[in-house]
Amino acid sequence: MSTPTTVTAYAAPAAKAPLERTTVERRAVRAHDVRITVAHVGICHSDLHQVRAGWGSEIFPMVPGHEITGIVREVGPAVTRHAVGDRVGVGCMVDSCRVCENCLVGLEQYCDEGPVWTYNSVGKDGQPTYGGYAQEIVVDEAFVVRVPDALALDVAAPLLCAGITTYSPLRHWNAGPGRRVAVVGLGGLGHMAVQLAHALGAEVTVLSQSLRKREDGLRLGADDYRATSDPATFEELAGAFDLLLNTVSAPLDYAAYFGLLRTDGAMVNLGLPEEPVQIGLQSLNGRRRSMSSSGIGGIAETQEMLDFCAARGVAAEIEPIRAEQVNEAYDRLLAGDVRYRFVIDAATL
């Protein structure tokens, strides 16, 4: 019989409080559960957001972390997908209803009941979920993906959120040969979007405030790199793109960006401003353009993305940190000072 385990973790004890070393309890392994020793965990903007600013429904203490890679240490008696010793990953979700129309087609992230998020959420057992800034995590096998051998566990970790968040819309809006994709912003999401769009065969342009990260952008696979602070960018690239993937959370001059889309082009927003945005529909109407948004990706698509990254040599560019550097890393992330993802080495917990 499996028993609950007490594991070391980093948690925020209250809103806006610094994270501190503590312990959390992991449930006993149930029939379909996998117990994972965490190897690496990426620091996502939404970790910072939920700990510091708040989306209004936080559960404290909070153990953030939904870009998790590790090794399977124990499996429940009914588990068939994973075995002890397997290299695995866990992303933003750890459960869903599994019977609604979205779950049935592999869009668990859009579950009618809302998925159970990896942290700051309540599981079907009524208990709060705690994320990956911890030595171990226990997750139902259906929400655990396989990390191919070709991907190191540290650079694979950010793929579980930043990777799938960009891969899913690129696939949905058919980024590929003959298609022109612009990635707005070169941060954690943007640096994955550029690599993935390039690997999918699309022609890729980065639209960034300045040319400061131009060399990085071109090295990651961009064909062109333009500064949005230069008005000439919007004149020269008018009507140029099939898809704009916007990774910036601050509101933009949307009409100016719609002008960059060709007929039937789409602007897909991954960064979400806190306040409602205003757009003039005229700038969409002219060329049947659309404005949309997209959230992570389903479990099967997450596996597809990891396999694609392994086959094409795509991975995150990371700054590895020790667990005790997490608060400092949050400050730097807030200042936009990271290239391109902080990843905690869980052995330092």
- Binding positions for Zn ion, rule: CB under 5 A: 44, 46, 96-97, 100, 103, 111, 161
Q: What does the alpha-carbon distance between residue 39 and residue 134 come to, in Å, rounded to a whole number?
A: 9
- Considering the complex, state which of residue 118 and residue 205 has its C-beta at the smaller distance from Zn ion: 118
For Zn ion, the closer of residues 103 and 237 by Cβ is: 103
Q: How far is the CB of 114 from Zn ion (least distance, A)?
A: 8
Least spacing, CB of residue 239 vs Zn ion, in Å? 33
Could you identify the residue written with the tokens 């910072």?
48
How far, in whole angstroms, is CA 240 from its chain's centroid?
27
Indicate the residue among 61 and 295 with the shorter CB distance to Zn ion. Answer: 295
User: Measured from the CB atom, is 50 or 135 closer to Zn ion?
Assistant: 50
Q: Is 178 left (phi over 0), alpha (psi -120 to 50) or beta?
A: left
Please state the closest distance from residue 9 (CB atom) to Zn ion, in A.
Answer: 18
Alpha helix (H) residue ranges in the chain: 45-48, 101-104, 153-156, 162-172, 188-199, 214-219, 231-236, 254-258, 282-285, 299-312, 326-334
Q: How far apart are CA 69 and CA 39, in angstroms?
A: 6
Q: Which is nearer to Zn ion, 111 or 318 (CB)?
A: 111
User: Please, what is the minimum distance in Å from the beta carbon of residue 255 to Zn ion?
Assistant: 29
DSSP assignment of 108-130: GGG-TT-PEESSSSB-TTSPBP-
CB of 276 to Zn ion, least distance (A): 22
